[in-house]
Amino acid sequence: MKEDKFFTNKDQQELLSEIKNEIVTSDEVYLIYPFISKAILNKIEPTFEYCLKNNIIIKIISTTFDDLAQFNNLNEIRKISEKYKNIKIKIEDNLEKHSERIHIKAAIFKRKVKQDSAIIGSSNLTYKGMISGREWNIKIISKEKNDLVHQLIKEFDYLWEEDFVDFSNSFERDFLIQRIKENQDSKIQLEILNQDSKFEYSKKYLYKFQKEVIDKLSYRRFLNKNKHLIVMATGTGKTLVSAFDYKRQIEQVNKKLKILFLAHQKEIIDQAINTYRQVLNDSNFGEVLYDQKIISENPEYLFATIQSLSNRLEDFKKEQFDIIVYDEAHHIAANTFDKTFNYFQPKQIIGLTATPEREDGKNIKKYFNDEFASELRLWDAIDQKLLCPFDYYCIDDSKTDLTGVDLDSDREIFKKINTESRNELLFKTIEKYLGIYARPTALIFCVTIEHANIIATFLKAKNLKAEVLTSQNKNDRKRIIHEFSIGRINYLCVVNIFNEGIDIPEINTIILLRPTNSKTIYLQQLGRGLRKTELKNKLEVYDLISNIDNKYDLTLGIRNLFEPKIIGTNFISTKHGLPYNSTITLEKNAEEIILKSLKKWYGNKNIIKEQVVKYFQKYNLKSLEMIIKDYELTLQDFYNNLDDLFIKTAKQISNYLPTQNDTKRNKNILKQFIFLDNYKIISYFYRRLTRKIEKLNIDYDLDNLFITSVLYEITSMKKFLGLYPNYLKIDDLVQYFMDNNQLIVEEIILILKYKLDNETLIFSDNTEKLLSINSTYTVKQCLAAVGRTNFLFYREQLKVLTFQAGYLTFDNSKQIILADEDGMGYGKLTKYDMENNKFYWSIPENMTLEHKIIKDFNNLEIKKYLFIHDKQNYNQKNMFLKLYKFIGIGTFNNMIVDNYLTAEFDM
């Protein structure tokens, strides 16, 4: 354990012996090897037996390598997973377009007392890798905190959270093995190039964001909403989400619900029914209707083109289906859509679309109560590796001056940019960044049809393979698109958003020749090139940046490339906040123009306040929701940026009236409500503040939680009585607060309403009345929820507590621990281990085993309320306060003696 080592396999099995010795002396082991053979598993299995008996946790990451798993025996790995409960295994499925192909070969050994260590090198966990092959591997010993071994541990922890196939999940595991076996038997490689549907139905497990969409749909049904419009980028699995959502619904009601799935093309219908069949594990599920196909007399599970169905509406009862799914609804012609939509009366309607804006300029959002059920942002889709990353180039076009030009006027823009010098700039950009001999699949967005023709002619004169595709040559559309997709055409000049049902995954270059004042159009243009294929690593974007009029926001589109939380001018200059593996390059003058625009729009806080006023004048009480959606922010992000009260800003209030804010409370009061995520609490607060709860139905526990929240600054009885000297004469303290803080209450109502309508909240699991597992609370709310703080005299005695230590036993029946994880690398073990359902709390340094808190651990009469620090607001300086997530009521297990005493609780 004292020296680093070097292994070459000259002494056979020395490396394997070292790994086995390291395993049995560890407390936790991380193994990451792309290939694992049965021969080596046989040699290691006695070590696994020892680990099981001694409760040594082992985590293994491996891969399929391809869709045949030629170098991995997944069935043997499954046996290990089933046999040893202490071994957790995850497999990277390399058939997925989103996998990054792990090549790491390493074993990491964690110890609570002795030094950590790791073995890393070229060897796989195979016979050749461990024994007979020419390999180099080194063993390194941890010598201090935050050294190389600890960096390896952190990187493994990061990989462990990736969306790999979890072998402890029998459904995911067995499906993967079944699919691999089918491919091995047939000896074919599953082609995924140019086949978006393979993403949608080649897998029966979900990525994190897809699970979140389904959870959101379940939550909306709980709220009795029955129209759901899901907006997800092309290639991110919309149909798969709808299939899993259907599966969850039928499991909840324990019967198959009648479903109608509609799309505008029969190819989509065929893909969709296959997706549903695989998710439901029923090869006979459903029937299709298109091209005059014969269907059963009374179909219950029907997949149909909307054209075929609309011609036979009279054959169906209006209430024949429980669920209707409209796929790619924005493509459906208006009269056909209206006819079908208005005819049926299902219990649930689901719309799936990449963009809600239709080709005729109308928005299908109106059919779904003018709201999105779920929307996957472009940044998130790229960062989660669902769409390909980008290299974005801002090209200096400062010679083109568009100040005074209406950006909504194509004619005005065309007059300014239709110059020989600008066309030469386009060619120089291609020459510099792409090369004139390159063969890209480049889409060039032009201003008008005339402009597109001019650019195509210009590029042809430069001996580049260019063509134009507009409404004027639509008869040649099929030929042009085919030649473009196979490389006979390298530069395709188009107008507007190019969204008329055309999807060309091979597009690897986007060139933007005009500025736009529409975020929607910008994102649609960019989205044309973000589809993943095996041959495309990145999308290259070339944006010609010109001076535009000050009334426009030049960065309206560009800032969507950055994480919404990143604001101000720093993000564009430091490159922080870009999604996974993406870059942005700014030529000098283009950078100056962009930074100038950013400073104007985001460097000045008055700008966002001006926007709040405008939105409020236009949308009134819907203004908070609208501005958050339009700027693609979370509620927390918005208030962090505004750094003030919304209502005060919107109504331009400078001086409060006596009943608006009786103590001149500032924006900090809002933090007590912005982070709430418990449905029961939020719903009650909303109904209470909107006077929808009769006096007989008042819940004093929830009332006390509310008062504790709004009186967050009260830390003593003296301060409380100073605020309410006539306390005993106040019949209803909540009502009294409402009457004397009308502006504050109006703001809180807006926040609560936004949460109920737009956020996926946590339902109470009946563990405790005010506490739900994984719900977030402020410190004062934690105390009120467990009954330690009380402001209501008719409940029991007043309890006003100053709480700083983070732990407390009270009433001889309750103990509360607010635990902070070690963020400084001092060796504390405080954490919640979700996989093993254990809670660890490293006790303060000055606390001994004789301390009352520790002695109370063994008292079974005392409930242990355990919370872990929630860091969701750490990067939001204007929203910062200590938050804690409720983990549950724990049972003390034992005390771990290490650098710090650490209490272990079973949850």
Instruction: Note the pLDDT of residue 782.
Output: 92
Identify the pLDDT of residue 887: 94
On whether the pTM is more than 0.85, the answer is no
Per-residue DSSP letters for 194-208?
Answer: T-HHHHHHS-SS--H
For every residue of 259-325, DSSP letters joined together read EEEEESSHHHHHHHHHHHHHHHT-TT--EEE-TT----SS-SEEEEEHHHHHTTGGGS-TT--SEEE
Token readout for 612 is: 């709040």
Residue 844 is classified by DSSP as P
Distance from the Cα of residue 296 to its chain's centroid: 41
**pLDDT at residue 196, rounded to an integer:** 39
Alpha helices in 588-714 (DSSP H): 588-601, 605-619, 623-630, 635-642, 646-650, 668-674, 679-689, 700-710
Residue 200: the pLDDT is 39
Q: Write down the residue that tokens 């086995």 correspond to.
A: 20
Give the pLDDT confidence score for residue 794 in this predicted structure: 55
pLDDT at residue 604, rounded to an integer? 60
Structure confidence at residue 26 (pLDDT): 94
pLDDT of residue 800: 75
Same fold, 196-376 and 804-907: no
Residue 123 is predicted with a pLDDT of: 92
Which parts of the chain sit beneath pLDDT 70? 1-2, 11-13, 65-73, 94-100, 145-146, 181-205, 234-235, 329-334, 355-363, 497-503, 549-556, 564-576, 597-605, 662-665, 764-767, 793-797, 801-804, 822-827
Note the pLDDT of residue 746.
92
For the chain, the domains span: 5-185, 196-376, 386-561, 804-907
Q: Does domain 804-907 have CATH number 3.40.50.720?
A: no
pLDDT at residue 359 in the model:
47
pLDDT of residue 288: 93
> Quick one: pLDDT at residue 201?
39
| Residue 904: per-residue pLDDT | 92
486, with CB counted inside 10 A (0-12, 13-18, 19+), is: exposed
Topology (CATH) of 386-561: Rossmann fold (3.40.50)
Q: What is the pLDDT of residues 322-346, one digit of tens each?
A: 999 998 766 655 677 788 888 999 9
Give the residue from 507, 461, 484, 443 showing the smallest Cα distance to 476: 484
Residues 354, 231 contacting (CB under 8 angstroms): yes
Name the CATH architecture for the domain at 5-185.
2-Layer Sandwich (3.30)
Please name the fold of domain 196-376: Rossmann fold (3.40.50)
Residue 599 CA, chain-centre distance (Å), reads 29
